[in-house]
Structure 1
C-alpha cells in the first residue's frame, strides 16, 4: 500500500507525518556530518605525529648538546612542541564538544519526532514541558543553557547565539590549557 505524502496527498495525508520525515532528515544530516568530522581526527593525528617528530629532534639535540647553537635549537624545538601541543588540545576539545552537541541535536530531533507523531503527546502541554526540561537537563555548559532559555523566551536565533557567544568569550578567558 502506498502511503499518502506531500507529492501524492489523499485523505490519509498528514502534516504531522511530513514533519516527522523532515525531523528525521535533519537527524540524518547531523549524523552524516558527524561521520564527516573525521577530518578533525585526521588533524589531531597529524598534530601528534608532528609533536612526536619534534620530540625526537629535541632528543637528538640533547644528545649533541655541546654548543650554544645547539642549545638555541633545543629551545626552539621546545617552543615549537609546546605550540603544537596547545593546538592539539584545542582541536580535541572542539571535536569533543562538537560531538556532544551533535549527539544532543540528533537525540532531540528523534525525541521530537516521537512526540509529534503521537497525538496523545502532541496536544499535551505537560509532554512538551517535560521534553523541554529533558533537553535543558542534558546541557553541561552554561552558554548552552542561556541559548536554550533565550529561544524559549521567544528571542530571535541571532540574539540567542549572540548571548551564547558573549558568555563563551567570558568562559574562554577562564580556560586553562595543560
Structure 2
C-alpha cells in the first residue's frame, strides 16, 4: 500500500458507483471517526500540556520547600514538613498519570492512522478485493503496536474472537479489572 497523505480520507466514491452506497457511507463514518479522534486528542493534549506545566511548577516549588526545611529551617513544624512531602509525592503520582496519557495519545494516533488506511483501501475499487492488500494493512497495523497486550488483542480479533472475548482475554492475561463503563457519565468531576 502506497504511503498516503494523512487526513486525506473522504467520502469520494468512483464515478461508476451510485450516489448512495455502503462503501460511501462507510467512508463517511470512517472519516468522521478519524476527525473525532484527532480533535479529541488535540484538545486533550492542550489540556495535558497545561497540567504538565502546572505540575512541573508545583514539583519545583515543593522541592524548594523540602530543601528549605532540611537546610535552613530544620525546626519548622513537622506538620508543614509532612504536608510538603505529601505534595511532592502526589506530584510524582501525577507525572506517572501523564505518562499513561502519553501512551494513550500514541495509541489513539495509531488507531486514527489505521482507520484512515483502511478507508483508503475500501475506497480503492480494485484493492478492496485483493487479499494481499488486506494482509499488508493488517501487518502495518500490527507493526505499530508496542505493547504485548495490543498484539494479543490483535491476534484474537483476527482469529475471529468477538471484542468482548478479546477484552476478557486481555484482562485475564494482564490481571487488570474488567470495567466496560468507559466513564459514560457526562458529569465532570472536579477534584
CA RMSD of aligned residues (A): 2.6
Q: Aligned pair 1:109/2:119, yes or no?
A: no
Is 1:125 paired with 2:131?
yes
Could you tell me which of 44, 52, 55 is aligned with 2:60?
52
CA distance in 1, matches of 2:120, 2:173: 33
Q: TM-score, normalised by structure 1?
A: 0.78
For residues 161 and 85 of structure 1, the distance between their equivalents in structure 2, rounded to whole angstroms, comes to 30
Return 5+ residue gaps in structure 2 as ranges: 1-10, 177-191
Distance 2:99 2:49 in 1: 11
8 Å Cα contact 2:122/2:128 also seen in 1: yes
Deviations 1:68-96 (A, max 9, x none): x55675465335413321321x1222121
Deviations 1:7-42 (A, max 9, x none): xxx944332122111111110010011012133333
1:92 corresponds to which of 90, 98, 106: 98
Q: CA deviation at 1:161?
A: 1.8
Structure 1 CA distance, aligned partners of 2:21 and 2:162? 29
* 2:62 is the alignment partner of 1:64: no
Matches within 5 A, 1:1-178: 11-37=18-44, 38-62=46-70, 63-65=72-74, 67=75, 70=77, 73-74=80-81, 77-88=84-95, 90-169=96-175
Contact 1:47/1:84 (8 A) holds in 2: yes
Q: Secondary structure at the match of 2:105?
A: helix
Larger Rg: 1
> CA contact under 8 A between 2:149 and 2:170: conserved in structure 1?
yes
CA displacement at 1:148 relative to structure 2: 0.9
Question: Quick one: distance in 1 between partners of 2:131 and 2:159?
Answer: 16
TM-score by length of 2: 0.73
